[in-house]
Amino acid sequence: MNFSNVKSVLMPGMKNFKWWSAIGMVALGMSLSGCGGHSSTSSASIRVANATLTHASLDLWVTGAITTATATAQNATSAYVSAPSGAATLQLNDAGSSTGLAISTPTLVGGAHYTLLAFESGATGGSVLKMYPLPEDWTIPTQAGTTQLRFLDFAPEAGNLDIYVAASAVASGGTPAGYVGSINGNSQAIILSEGVGTYYVTVTASNNPADVRMLNMPVAVTSQQVATVALTPASGGSLLDGNLLLQQVANGFSTFRNTGTRVRLASAVSGGTSVAATAGSTNLDGSGVAPQFGNYALIPASGTLSVTVGGATIAPPATGLIAGADMTLLVFGAPGSATASMLTDDNRPPLNPALVKMRLINGITGNSANVLKLVANGVALVTGVAPGTASAYGSAGINAYGNVNLSLSSTLNANLIPPTASTAYTLNPNTTYTVFAVGDYVTATPASPLSLMVQ
């Protein structure tokens, strides 16, 4: 393995702690083989690590015939099975099914070891299963008392990320310490050489340590061991799960599922009334006045929300928080009868990167019969959106490279917000948007101006 592009820098504050950033050393191409010499004709050894969110058990088929790598449960790894060297055809199925969920032909090196990481990424609801063969023949550290840690990012939808590794956990509300490098998708690796013990991995958005995407993943390492931390998307696409693989260790795979939820406040209460929400000691953009979207805040999924309208407490939403998800807390209605509802967001990019993905939140107050339809460039994008709810995401009728003209109709008014220059938006391709409809509509005429907010 050529390490000519690797650099070593001593990190302060940690004993025997070094890191190397190897841009391009681990790429998406399915031809990885670890270091060291191997036969080009003998079989490779491969096992499955099931890091998926929705597939309880997976079978691996190699070159069209089912192997002994069957029924690998979530958060577990199978035993090794043989696979031919060269371009082997690998197929993952739900256990007992012959339908391929993912098929790939990586180039495997004879005599080498691989773990086939199975995870979901890049689609609404996380429905696309992906696989990646992690090589397991990296050179073992020669110095007793040292370990090699490798970090790979398989969540490009989460954007650029910063990784922190520290000997102690980050305190609640604290700032991450032990910055070791940035990573984006699986086009790069970060490699650490450090002493044995337990470390805590925290991941944030790039250059924004307050935007925590994974908090305090414990990683226990022993002498002369190679361990890989693979980051995969949690259910909302922005938060991350961590997966720890110990090189060539039987059952040496574990997952760290994200226990947080990213929540933002959407204020739609009529009459210019302020809305505030908290989760424990975390404020969700207090004093929001319609129409307003707050910023996402990371809170424990086990947390309890408290919502006030004009200073008076109202009932929290009936729907609970979902671990690993992005969610919107919608508060709408008249000041004396406002309602809070919880909506699940999907901030993954569209399947087609040339398009945008868009949905509608109906925050218009005053009439429960005011069911909405959103039209984009003359084509119906979503229909049947009741007050206090959100539509599914759609892309029909959206030209992401020019102005998108949005109009709104309802069961009460076919021309609720007509297509005018004021509703034309220039949208970026490969981006997800939410359209927020707000205002007060009691009878045939709005009681207050209606507006669309695109974010």
Quick: pLDDT tens for 5-39. 222 222 222 333 333 333 333 333 334 444 545 55
Looking at the structure, do residues 94 and 112 belong to the same domain, yes or no? yes
3 part of a folded domain: no
Domain boundary among 256, 278, 313: 256
228 part of a folded domain: yes
Residue at 211: amino acid letter: D
CA 112 to the chain's CA centroid: 31
Looking at the structure, do residues 220 and 318 belong to the same domain, yes or no? no
Domain boundary among 226, 256, 286: 256
Q: What is the pLDDT of residue 270?
A: 85
Looking at the structure, do residues 324 and 376 belong to the same domain, yes or no? no
Domain boundary among 221, 256, 291: 256
Q: What is the pLDDT of residue 444?
A: 55
Looking at the structure, do residues 161 and 291 belong to the same domain, yes or no? no
- Report residue 183 as tokens: 């990573």
Q: Which residues contact 49 (CB under 8 A, 6 or more apart)?
A: 72, 76, 77, 78, 115, 116, 117, 118, 134, 243, 245, 253
Q: What is the pLDDT of residue 398?
A: 64
The 10s digit of each residue's pLDDT in 141-179 is 999 999 999 999 999 888 899 999 999 999 877 899 999
Round to whole Å and give the CA distance between 78 and 73.
8
Looking at residue 327, the DSSP 8-state letter turns out to be E
386 part of a folded domain: yes
Looking at the structure, do residues 88 and 203 belong to the same domain, yes or no? yes
For 1, 9, 57, 160, 189, the CA distances from 151, given in Å and listed in that order, are 18, 17, 25, 14, 6
Residue 51 near residue 230, CB atoms below 8 Å:
yes
Looking at the structure, do residues 199 and 226 belong to the same domain, yes or no? yes
Residues of the chain with pLDDT under 70: 1-41, 66-68, 122-127, 186-188, 286-287, 396-402, 420-423, 443-450
203 part of a folded domain: yes
Q: Residue 454's domain spans which residues?
A: 348-455
Looking at the structure, do residues 221 and 241 belong to the same domain, yes or no? yes
424 part of a folded domain: yes
Q: Which residues contact 156 (CB under 8 A, 6 or more apart)?
A: 121, 122, 184, 185, 186
2 part of a folded domain: no
Looking at the structure, do residues 195 and 84 belong to the same domain, yes or no? yes
Q: What is the pLDDT of residue 284?
A: 83
Instruction: Count the domains in the chain.
Output: 3
219 part of a folded domain: yes
Looking at the structure, do residues 232 and 287 belong to the same domain, yes or no? no
Looking at the structure, do residues 334 and 292 belong to the same domain, yes or no? yes
* Residue in 259, 225, 226 with CA at minimum distance from that of residue 242: 259
Looking at the structure, do residues 293 and 431 belong to the same domain, yes or no? no
Q: What is the pLDDT of residue 401?
A: 52
Q: What is the pLDDT of residue 400?
A: 54
Looking at the structure, do residues 380 and 410 belong to the same domain, yes or no? yes
85 part of a folded domain: yes
